[in-house]
Amino acid sequence: MMVQQTTPEAAVSGVTTAAELNVAGTRGPSFGEPIVEYLLRLGDDRLILGHRLSEWCGHGPILEEDIALANIALDLVGASSMLLGLAGELEGKDRDADALAFFREGVQYRNALIVELPRGDFGFTIMRQFLFDAYSVVTLDALASCGHAGLAAIAAKSLKEDKYHLRHSSEWVVRLGDGTEESHNRVQASLNELWRYTGELFERDTIDEAVAAVGITLDRDALHAKWESIVNDVLQRATLTIPEKTVMASGGRRGRHTEHLGHLLSVMQSVARAHPGATW
Amino acid sequence: MTQPTTVTADESALVAAFEARIAAGESIEPKDWMPERYRRQLIRMMSQHAHSEIVGMLPEGNWITRAPSLRRKMSLIAKVQDEAGHGLYIYCGTETLGVDRHELVEQLLDGRAKYSSIFNYPTLSWADMGVIGWFVDGAAIVNQTILAKASYGPYARAMVRICKEENFHKRQGYEICATLANGTPAQREMLQDAVNRFWWPSLMMFGPSDTDSPNSAELLKWRVKRKTNDELRQRFINLTVPQAAAIGVTLPDPDLKFNAETNNWDFGEIDWDEFFQVIGGNGPCNRERIAARQQAQDEGEWVRAAATAHASKQHRTVQAA
């Protein structure tokens, strides 16, 4: 057992040494308390995905989608702002959400790889969004009743928004999958490309075990089953097929990213880093 | 040749009745009779306004991914989203005049329709996000507050709603500027540079001087416009000069001085050659703006086709059931 100590504090500190965290291979610098690391994973997913969505602003296929994608981006960045804010508070090193967003290196980011991939065409953006939304809804639904009051409150608020996001992306997946031959082929190709990034969303490591001490106990297998049921239902309606024998990619949760993240961050952080200490 | 004469006689009676309604301050609604020229002028103005909202998303969208704090990123996304909403709303308003959005977008892309000249200037620093909110939304408010009393009901009502949001954008922009003005020397320099670049193009937003404005007289008569371009420009300058002083930035016009007789701020000569170059397609970013809209249109073609195909399949399924 990872967690044997009797007090939560001791239990948490018992699993944060670099040696123990290294069980899953190499990893970037860690952030002390597992709950901080855990919140960064949630916050970074939403910040990076919100950033990718915001790249569509002014370039959408129809005006209504410019509005919808901006709205979803806004919700995701808003959620990340709360999650990173809480992470900073619990870290206790005087770093607020902005410090965490704009002054961390790529290897210190904890988002899943799927959210950092370039936006691709509208079909790729929608398919990625759908796979993430379904994951987010099942995860936040569980977190909304977890024993960590701060996180539960954020999860409950974001869950309401994410249910709308899931409805929006599901409808589009069906529309594109079932639309024309071209749209079907495009969105099937996106699904084929994206599928290998979905395994990481349900990985479980020492951080997940350690946060049990602060009341966060998610059954990843159960969440995965719920996610699969949502995904299978929508993909079936969209006449799309899940690719077989996919080797899953992994690494984001340990700071081992694709090359895309560095470029994204160099854009996102450019102004803030050019003026360290400035107020905006 | 009796028939045309009859029509003309009927028409002139209709025009007289129409103009009497306008003179009485009544609002014209979509199903009311209106002169063809009134309808065309409104389509021109309203679609130009809608296109400006849509093209205007690009210079600001350019900085969403680089906004220096999460709060600023969120408010900028929200602002650009509002602009898309305004565009959509005004396109719908224009459709009440019997023209559809698709046709209007084509007119934008092939250069037949215009949009506000200001959006052909590049956004070069974060300070531009502040200055655009302050100047460009500020100028839009001056224009639109008057348009909210325009004779065509759907346009006037759209303006009432849009003005509320533009006021919020302007405050937000001015607040960005005030923050920069209180910031580091580099931030202050960034702000002053943005002011220097956007001041004159913002004054040009009100259009040519009344003596050179081809549409003004008729638009004023039909209360599509209620004030002349020069009156609105002067009002904007009078409002903005004290705001600039309050945050310690210099407006780049050595001739700017208060005239106690007129109670106005006198200002220097606007470079109308530049204005006509920009509206003629030769501004710094005209090509990029239209190319970006064209690209969005082209790359979105398969998505729109898919949505249509799926909708008609659904329709058939419902009918078969």
Which of B170, B177, B163 lies closest to B133, judged by CA?
B170
Q: How confident is the model at residue B5 (pLDDT cuts 50, 70, 90)?
A: very low
Report chain B residues whose CB lies below 8 A from the CB of A118.
none
pLDDT at B221 over 50: yes
- Domains of chain A, first to last: 34-109+120-274 (1.20.1260.10)
Which of A75, A57, A242, A215 lies closest to A148, judged by CA?
A215
A201 C-beta neighbours (distance < 10 Å), count: 25
| CB-based contact, A81 to chain B, within 8 Å | yes
User: Are the CB atoms for B75 and B130 separated by under 8 Å?
Assistant: no
As a 3-state breakdown, chain A gives helix, strand, coil percent values, each rounded to 5, of: 70, 0, 30
CA distance B196 to A65: 35
Minimal-distance CA residue of chain B relative to A80: B70
When the pLDDT of each residue in chain B is averaged and rounded to a whole number, the result is 93
Q: What is the DSSP string of B258-310?
A: EETTTTEEE-----HHHHHHIIIIISSSHHHHHHHHHHHHHHTHHHHHHHHHH
CA distance A2 to A12: 10
Decide if A275 and B184 are in contact by the 8 Å CB cutoff: yes
Decide if A179 and B292 are in contact by the 8 Å CB cutoff: no
CA distance A280 to A99: 13
| CB-based contact, B224 to chain A, within 8 Å | no
ipTM of the modeled complex = 0.92
Q: What is the pLDDT of residue B168?
A: 93
More confident residue, B8 or B79: B79
For residue A274 the two structure tokens come to: 């050019």
> What's the DSSP call for residue A247?
P
CA distance A183 to A167: 19
User: pLDDT below 50 — which residues of chain A?
Assistant: 1-25
Chain B, residues 66-105, CB within 8 A of chain A, namely 66-74, 77-78, 80-81, 84-85, 87-88, 91
Mutation target among B70, B92, B165 for the A interface, most CBs of A within 10 A? B70
- E-strand ranges in B116-158 read none
Percent of chain B with pLDDT over 70: 97
Report chain B residues whose CB lies below 8 A from the CB of A183.
302-303, 305-306, 309
Mutation target among B66, B108, B303, B316 for the A interface, most CBs of A within 10 A? B303
| CB-based contact, A13 to chain B, within 8 Å | no
Give the position of tokens 């600023």: B72
- Summarize pLDDT for B36-82 with one digit per residue, the tens: 999 999 999 999 999 999 999 999 999 999 999 999 999 999 999 99
Q: How confident is the model at residue B218 (pLDDT cuts 50, 70, 90)?
A: confident
Mutation target among B60, B63, B69 for the A interface, most CBs of A within 10 A? B69
Report chain A residues whose CB lies below 8 A from the CB of B81.
57, 66-67, 70-71, 74
Smallest CA–CA distance, residue A74 to chain B, in Å, is 6
| CB-based contact, B170 to chain A, within 8 Å | no
A50 C-beta neighbours (distance < 10 Å), count: 25
| CB-based contact, A181 to chain B, within 8 Å | no
Mean pLDDT of all residues in B281-295 = 96
- Summarize pLDDT for B150-201 with one digit per residue, the tens: 999 999 999 999 999 999 999 999 999 999 999 999 999 999 999 999 999 9
Smallest CA–CA distance, residue B12 to chain A, in Å, is 41
Maximal C-alpha separation, chain A: 60
pLDDT at B3 over 70: no
Q: Is the dihedral of CA A140, A142, A145, A150 positive or negative?
A: negative
Which of A38, A276, A258 lies closest to B68, judged by CA?
A276
Q: What is the pLDDT of residue B319?
A: 82
> B264 - beta bridge partners?
B259
Distance of CA B34 to the CA centre of its chain: 24
Distances (CA, A) of B162 to A78, A185, B60, B84, B295: 24, 41, 18, 11, 28
Distances (CA, A) of A83 to A76, A174, B50, B285: 10, 31, 37, 39
Decide if A183 and B306 are in contact by the 8 Å CB cutoff: yes
The one-letter amino acid at B33 = W
User: Are the CB atoms for B132 and B57 separated by under 8 Å?
Assistant: no
Q: What is the pLDDT of residue B265?
A: 98
Which of A231, A229, A234, A243 lies closest to A191, judged by CA?
A243
Decide if B81 and A122 are in contact by the 8 Å CB cutoff: no
Decide if B61 and A51 are in contact by the 8 Å CB cutoff: no
B100 C-beta neighbours (distance < 10 Å), count: 11
Phi then psi for residue B259, to 5 deg, are -110, 105
Give the position of tokens 């109670």: B263
Decide if A57 and B64 are in contact by the 8 Å CB cutoff: yes
Which of A135, A148, A131, A276 lies closest to A210, judged by CA?
A148
